[in-house]
Chains A and B, each alone.
Chain A
Amino acid sequence: MNWWNRLWRRKQMEEQLEKELRFHVDQHAGDLIANGLHPDEARRQARIALGGPEQVKEQCRDARGTRWLEDLWQDLRYALRTLRHQPAFATVALSTFALGIGVTTIMFTVVNGVLLKPLPYPNPSRLVAVHGKTATWNVALYGDQNLAYFDFLDCQRDSRSLALAGWIFDSGTMSEPGEAEHVDELGASFNLFSVLGEPLFLGRAFLPEEDRPGGTPVAILSYGLWQSRFGGSPAAIGASLVLDGRRFTVVGVTRPGLRLDDEEAVVYTPMGQNTAPYMQSRGPHPVTTIARLRPGVTLVQAQEELAMMGHHLAEQYPKTNADRGFAAKPLRPDVGDVGSTLWLLLGAVSIVLLIACANVASLLLARAISRERELAMRVALGAARSRLIRQCLTESAVLGLLGGALGVSLAAIGIRPFIVFWPGSLPRAEEVQIDWRVLLFALAASLASGLLFGLAPALRAPAQKLEQTLRAGARSVAGASRRLHSVFVMTEIALAVVLLVAAGTLGRALLRLSSLEPGLNIHNVLVTRMALSPATLANPGKIRAAWKDVLDRARSLRGVQSATMVDTVPMREGNNQLGYWTTADVPPENKQPITLATTVTPDYLKVMGIPLLKGRFLTDYDRAGDEPAVVIDDVLAQHAFGGQEAVGKRLWIPDMGPKPVRVVGVVGHVRHWGLAGDDQAQVRDQLYYPFAQVPDALLRRWSELMSIAVRTGIDPLSVVEPLRRSVRGATNDQVIYEVHTMEQLASASLARQRFLLMLFGIFAGLALLLACIGIYGVLAYVTSQRVPEIGLRMALGADPRDVLRLVLGQSLRLIFMGVGVGLAAAFAAARVLGKLVSGVRSTEPSTFALMVLILVAAALFASFLPARRASRIDPMSALRQE
């Protein structure tokens, strides 16, 4: 018979035990009767010889060794029964706790999906990222260096330890099948899918002979594009599409949801067929490279081999590779800076959970005190103290698990809306699901919280002064519990202060940031990226003409006042950074100051409403072949020339050629990095140069990056469709995409702050509510315990106002102690916020004061109800209660 059996067949076991003992007594008595004893006397002696039947049974049960399990079972049923019999208590405790676990689980689900889960490829721990290492490369600014295409090819061919694959992000206009549309394109090495371990959903991967210049033009579709443009039909394999004027044959379809670097490419083409200049030399390094460790190879071995290959290439090609090396590190999901936001939020919800725990704990404690006599009675009857503690803990664990289950259901419902609310797009959002890790977390959190809030009542299980407790009943022992209750109230208040101050700090920051001047006039401006007809891109003259035509058409639209070209738009993702120097004696790259550089046409200033401070802006007279003219902002002017006159000075910008450029004007600074981020940005210098002076060789690449911006006299969104139609061009394949108003961009630049404020506001509100409920509950309870005392006071002449003062004074003491502790913690929390959220100033005394005021007011309000009830006690009936 196994233990499981024993547990389930408990009843039968008990009967058998009873029967066995009865048999013993009967036999013994029978023998004694046979010896001549009177039957009654015989039975008496037989029973005495066996000993107390209950004790023997108890020892037998112990001997079975499944005692703990039987006890647990008994305790569980007892706990459930008590909960059922106290529906009000159960409802309040469970819902409070479910709320706490619910929000915590939601946050953990997001943290788990975004930060903790491994990459969604098979065997991800064997995948590494390969990157270049150059002494002059600014990793902090640009991130890891990619590989030059030829370097990539050499490493891919020679490596024994790694299977290397690479890709370059690109984009293009897909003009067939269907309407012309701008699509994200990914140039992939032929083995990308096999290195990832991702078989294609349909068709085949690229062949090695397709991954080189002049190979057959073939393409692989994303699942989404296959669905939308090819109707999900298997006939798509072998069909064709036209991308940037080239016709490709579709050979495969990827699985749904396949992402690289968290980007979902739409069309994959063989990287080797890309003949752009940056693929033709070892200078530029466009190839993002990953690799899979070959079986049995360690990362260290791969590192050594990569270092060796770096040396070889440096010897072979000293001009480009002299100081260039290669390294590998484990491939991690790229989630940008959401990590800090997520941990912040997880911290905030943990505080809510703690408050919920404190609330439930004080409820349980109040209940434990009212059961004190029952427990004392059981101790008197022989129950061990450890047994009672175990029972109390079982009860709170049951409460914890039930609440946890409710909380997880809450989280399951709440998780999708939460992701939708996330500002911008949450990286790896598709990974955010409730999985076993989340369930494990919720289980652990529920159990831990259950034990946490069950501990205080459990440890009160009576031990000493039994007879006192039994004689006095519940009332007179309230003293010690009052201290514990006070601790709970203080804890709740302290925690609520932290959340309130955090929310207040964020709110203040958002208010201040929203009122900042962006440095340009964001109203009535529309910006959109634009792709010229692929046919024009071959010829620089055609390109310039096409852009001029686009601008002319845009300007002629009804409601449009001016139009300009621009490559990098303020507060939108994307920027171009150039090193500069004020003399011809230019230091190495990583020693140069860096400026943002923006390509514009002369109307840019008018469209954006940026003030001209000195000199002139770029004009149509700054043409190719003339001395290159640039306009700088006041930050760069100050940075480069101090107090001196900047106009007329020269700047040496290696990336723009060996000759210096001439500063012709100074304009106001624009908050390029967003309203919140610009003050702390690493690169704040700004420089504008004319599109007309971009060299012919670069014109094609520049054209791929261009946006157009228009200032309107009417609602800017109303010109989107006219604009789209008017710039389609003769071949009907010029498209605009990523359309925004400047107002939208400015607002989005504060989205993180707004989102954090919203959530912290919700959490702080919850915390405040829970804390007030807690204060109310505790005071109501403690006051009810003091009814006879208050009655006595009143009988002796205290008037209701004195009683009110007595109770409120008691609560105020608690509130202020809680606030004191809370403020210290809030100070630390605000500092963390100031570090992690741009634009937040950590210590603003007025915020602290305001939030504390709100809290004290709310807490006093919660105390007022029990206080008033106390003041209305009828002394006669109160005394009779004694």
Chain B
Amino acid sequence: MTNKSDLPQGTLDLLILKVVGLGPVHGYAIAQRLQQVSRDVVQVPQGSLYPALHRLENRGLLAADWQETETGREAKFYKLTRKGRAQLETEAASWQRLTQAVGLILAMAEGGVE
């Protein structure tokens, strides 16, 4: 099985929430979207996408129902719940803080060398 993801632990959930937050979407489209947006930098192993979706659904952050796609097939569409949106906001904010802090530390380290 492929396990080439460079995603830090726990960020997959955040990314999924973000993508689903843009509008109801099915699993394959999530995988596609992630790949497109990140310009193939982030490789999401498709095998871990579905367990993550089911876990988020189970925690009540996502809701799902079966709808027809434009090609007329039935697919399971996910959308954010109210709880999911709140979670997305807090996690996004904390991610921002974390990356800022990490960036600062990295910048400082470079300054120290000079």
Contacts and interface: CB of A to CB of B under 8 A. Distances in A.
Interface of A: 16, 19-21, 23-24, 26-28, 49-52, 55-56, 59-60, 62-65
Nearest to A61: B54
Contacts of A20: 27, 50, 75-76
B39 interface: no
Contacts of B66: 16
Contacts of B74: 19, 23
Contacts of B2: 49, 51
B107 interface: no
A52 B28 CA distance: 16
A691 B39 CA distance: 119
A588 B103 CA distance: 97
30 contacts: A16-B66, A16-B76, A23-B27, A23-B28, A23-B73, A23-B74, A24-B31, A24-B50, A26-B73, A27-B28, A28-B46, A49-B2, A50-B46, A51-B1, A51-B2, A52-B1, A55-B47, A56-B47, A56-B51, A59-B47, A59-B51, A60-B51, A60-B54, A62-B51, A63-B51, A63-B52, A63-B58, A64-B54, A65-B55, A65-B58
Given A24-B31, A55-B1, 14 more contacts: A16-B76, A19-B74, A21-B50, A23-B74, A24-B50, A28-B28, A49-B46, A51-B1, A56-B50, A59-B48, A60-B50, A62-B51, A63-B54, A64-B54
Top 6 A-B pairs, shortest CB-CB distance: A51-B47, A59-B51, A63-B55, A63-B54, A27-B28, A63-B51
A78 B55 CA distance: 28
B42 to A, nearest CB: 15
Contacts of A56: 47, 50-51
Interface centre among B28, B45, B58, B75 (most CB of A within 10 A): B28
A20 B31 CA distance: 13
Contact of A51 (B46, B52, B75): B46
B85 interface: no
Interface string B45-77: 111101110110010000000100000011110
A51 B45 contact: yes
A300 B75 CA distance: 73
Contacts of B46: 24, 28, 49-51
**SS class of chain B's interface: helix, strand, loop or mixed?**
helix
A49 to B, nearest CB: 5
Contacts of B52: 63
Nearest to A3: B58
A60 B55 CA distance: 8
B33 interface: no
Nearest to B27: A24
A20 B67 CA distance: 12
A65 to B, nearest CB: 5
Interface string B75-113: 110000000000000000000000000000000000000
Interface string B9-30: 0000000000000000011100
A24 B51 CA distance: 14
B47 A50 contact: yes
Nearest to A51: B47
Nearest to A6: B58
A19 B75 CA distance: 8
B75 to A, nearest CB: 5
A26 B46 CA distance: 14
A23 B76 contact: yes
Nearest to B73: A23
A23 B51 contact: no
Contacts of A62: 51
B69 to A, nearest CB: 9
Interface centre among B27, B50, B58 (most CB of A within 10 A): B50
Contacts of A21: 50
B28 A24 contact: yes
A24 B74 CA distance: 11
Nearest to A46: B46
Contacts of B54: 60, 63-64
A56 B2 CA distance: 13
Nearest to A25: B28
A64 B28 contact: no
Nearest to B30: A24
A51 B49 CA distance: 11
Nearest to A64: B58
Contacts of B76: 16, 19-20, 23
Nearest to A16: B76
B28 to A, nearest CB: 4
Contacts of B45: 51
Contacts of A50: 46-47
Contacts of B1: 51-52, 55
Contacts of A63: 51-52, 54-55, 58
A24 B78 CA distance: 14
Contacts of A19: 74, 76
Nearest to B2: A51
Interface centre among A16, A21, A60 (most CB of B within 10 A): A60
Nearest to A59: B51
Contacts of B27: 20, 23-24
A476 B2 CA distance: 42
A55 B48 CA distance: 10
Nearest to A57: B50
Contacts of A65: 55, 58
A498 B45 CA distance: 66
Contacts of A59: 47-48, 50-51
A65 B47 CA distance: 18
A517 B75 CA distance: 96
Nearest to A56: B47
Interface centre among B2, B31, B45, B51 (most CB of A within 10 A): B51
Nearest to A31: B32
B34 to A, nearest CB: 13
B94 to A, nearest CB: 23
A716 B56 CA distance: 89
Nearest to A58: B51
A522 to B, nearest CB: 81
A357 to B, nearest CB: 40
A21 B26 CA distance: 11
Contacts of A60: 50-51, 54
Nearest to A53: B47
B4 to A, nearest CB: 12
A24 B29 CA distance: 9
A680 B82 CA distance: 80
A439 to B, nearest CB: 35
A23 B75 contact: yes
A516 B2 CA distance: 91
Contacts of B51: 56, 59-60, 62-63
Contacts of A26: 73
Contacts of A52: 1, 47
Nearest to A52: B1
Contacts of B73: 23, 26
Interface centre among A27, A56, A62, A64 (most CB of B within 10 A): A27
A28 B52 CA distance: 19
Contacts of A49: 2, 46
A63 B50 CA distance: 9
